[in-house]
C-alpha cells in the first residue's frame, strides 16, 4: 500500500515545492519503511517454519531485519515518535539489564506472553530485534529446542515485530503527505522549514547516537572501557551495525542536499568513514580494553565526529535549519 502513495503524495500544490523533502520521503523513507516491513515479515515466516536458535535461515532473517532497521532508525520523528514503536522495535541500550531479567521471567514462570495480544502488552525489553537476538545468540537463552517455551516465545516476538513494522508502514501512508505538504493549516508542520528541521534533526541525532552509544559505550568513560556494553555483542554484529547505520545516514544526507558537489563530498566522506570502521577489524569491539584496540576505535570515532560535524554544518546552512531536541532510546 505504501508504494501506491509515491505517485499521489505530491499533487500539484505549492506545498509540494520542496525538492529536498520530496526526495527524502520518496527516495529514502518510504522505500526503507516498506523494505523493513518486508524483512520483518520474512523473519516471522522463518520463525514459523523453524524457531530453533541454530536455524541458519532464522538467523539470516534476523540479520536481514536488523539491516532493514538500520535504514529506518533515522526517522525518529512522526510515526516512530508518536506511536512509541521505536522502543518496541529496538530497545537498546539496556545498561541496567532489564532484558535478561524479562527473558528469564518469560521462560521460567507462567506469566510469560502466550499470545500476540500478550506480546503487545509485554515490557519493551521483551520485544523487538534485540530480544529476538538474545533468544537466538545469547548462550543464556538459546538452548531451547522445537516445541519448548523458548521456541514459542521467538515466534511470538517475531510476529509482534512484523506487526509493528507493518503498522509503521501504514502510519507513514498518512504521515508522508503531512511532511511533504507543510503549509499554513497543516497542524503538524506549519511550513517547509519545520519539515526540513525534522528530517535534519533525525539524521544528526542518529549519527550522535552512533558516536555516544554504539562507539561510546564500549569505549567507556574515565579510562575504564566497557566492552560488555557493546550493541549486538552476542550476535557478533557490533561493528557491522555501525557500518550499516552509516548507509542509512548517508542515504538521508544525500537526499537532503540539492548541491551535486555537496552530495559527492559527503558520499566520499561516508565511504572513507566506513573504511576506517572496517580497519578496526574487531567485530564486537572486545579489544577496547587493550591500548592498540582502543586506539583503532578512537581513530574511527574521531573520523565519525568529523563527518558528523560536516553533515551538520553543510546541511544546516543549505536547509536553513538547526538541530531540534530529540531524546535517545534505551536507558
pLDDT in tens, the chain (331 residues): 543 343 344 433 444 459 999 999 999 999 999 999 999 999 999 999 999 999 999 999 999 999 999 999 999 999 999 888 999 999 999 999 999 999 999 999 888 899 999 999 999 999 999 999 999 999 999 999 999 999 999 999 999 999 999 999 999 999 999 999 877 678 889 899 999 999 999 999 999 999 999 999 999 998 899 999 999 999 999 999 999 999 999 999 999 999 999 999 999 999 999 999 999 999 999 999 999 999 999 999 999 999 999 999 999 999 999 875 444 455 5
pLDDT at residue 111, rounded to an integer: 84
Which residue stretches of 222-290 are H helix? 238-255, 260-278
pLDDT at residue 110, rounded to an integer: 83
On whether the CB atoms of residues 102 and 138 are closer than 8 A, the answer is no
pLDDT at residue 182, rounded to an integer: 72
Which among 235, 222, 243, 231 is positioned nearest to 329, based on CA atoms? 231
Q: Would you tell me how many other CB atoms lie within 10 Å of the CB of residue 273?
A: 21
pLDDT at residue 185, rounded to an integer: 72
pLDDT at residue 88, rounded to an integer: 97
**Could you tell me the three cell numbers for 114?**
502466550
pLDDT at residue 220, rounded to an integer: 96
Which among 164, 158, 161 is positioned nearest to 55, based on CA atoms? 158
pLDDT at residue 4, rounded to an integer: 39
On whether the CB atoms of residues 165 and 37 are closer than 8 A, the answer is yes
First and final CA of the chain: distance in angstroms?
35
pLDDT at residue 17, rounded to an integer: 58
Q: Would you tell me how many other CB atoms lie within 10 Å of the CB of residue 20?
A: 19
On whether the CB atoms of residues 71 and 241 are closer than 8 A, the answer is no
Give the three-state DSSP class for 290: coil
pLDDT at residue 8, rounded to an integer: 41
pLDDT at residue 330, rounded to an integer: 53
Amino acid at each position: 500500500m505504501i508504494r501506491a502513495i509515491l505517485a499521489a503524495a505530491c499533487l500539484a500544490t505549492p506545498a509540494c515545492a520542496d525538492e529536498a523533502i520530496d526526495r527524502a520521503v520518496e527516495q529514502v523513507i518510504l522505500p526503507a519503511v516498506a523494505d523493513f516491513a518486508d524483512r520483518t515479515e520474512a523473519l516471522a515466516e522463518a520463525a514459523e517454519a523453524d524457531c530453533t536458535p541454530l536455524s541458519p535461515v532464522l538467523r539470516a532473517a534476523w540479520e536481514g531485519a536488523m539491516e532493514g532497521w538500520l535504514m529506518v532508525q533515522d526517522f525518529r520523528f512522526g510515526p516512530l515518535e508518536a506511536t512509541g514503536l521505536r522502543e518496541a522495535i529496538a530497545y537498546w541500550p539496556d545498561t541496567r539489564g532489564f532484558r535478561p531479567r524479562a527473558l528469564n521471567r518469560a521462560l521460567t514462570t507462567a506469566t510469560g506472553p502466550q499470545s500476540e495480544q500478550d506480546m503487545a502488552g509485554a515490557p519493551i525489553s521483551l520485544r523487538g530485534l534485540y530480544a529476538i537476538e538474545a533468544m537466538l545468540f545469547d548462550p543464556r537463552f538459546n538452548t531451547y529446542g522445537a516445541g519448548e517455551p523458548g521456541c514459542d516465545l521467538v515466534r511470538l516476538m517475531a510476529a509482534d515485530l512484523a506487526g509493528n513494522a507493518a503498522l509503521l508502514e501504514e502510519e507513514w501512508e498518512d504521515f508522508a503527505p503531512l511532511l511533504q505538504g507543510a503549509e499554513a493549516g497543516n497542524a503538524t508542520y506549519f511550513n517547509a522549514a519545520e519539515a526540513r528541521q525534522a528530517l535534519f534533526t533525525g539524521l544528526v541525532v542518529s549519527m550522535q547516537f552512533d558516536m555516544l552509544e554504539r562507539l561510546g559505550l564500549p569505549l567507556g568513560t574515565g579510562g575504564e572501557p566497557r566492552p560488555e556494553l557493546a550493541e549486538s555483542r552476542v550476535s557478533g554484529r557490533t561493528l557491522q551495525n555501525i557500518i550499516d547505520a552509516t548507509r542509512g545516514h548517508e542515504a538521508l544526507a544525500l537526499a537532503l542536499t540539492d548541491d551535486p558537489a555537496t552530495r559527492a563530498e559527503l558520499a566520499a566522506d561516508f565511504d572513507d568513514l566506513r573504511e576506517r570502521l572496517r580497519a578496526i577489524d574487531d567485530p564486537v569491539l572486545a579489544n577496547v580494553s587493550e591500548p592498540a584496540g582502543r586506539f583503532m576505535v578512537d581513530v574511527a570515532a574521531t573520523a565519525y565526529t568529523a563527518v558528523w560535524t560536516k553533515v551538520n554544518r553543510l546541511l544546516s546552512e543549505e536547509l536553513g535549519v538547526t538541530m531540534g531536541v530529540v531524546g535517545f532510546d534505551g536507558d
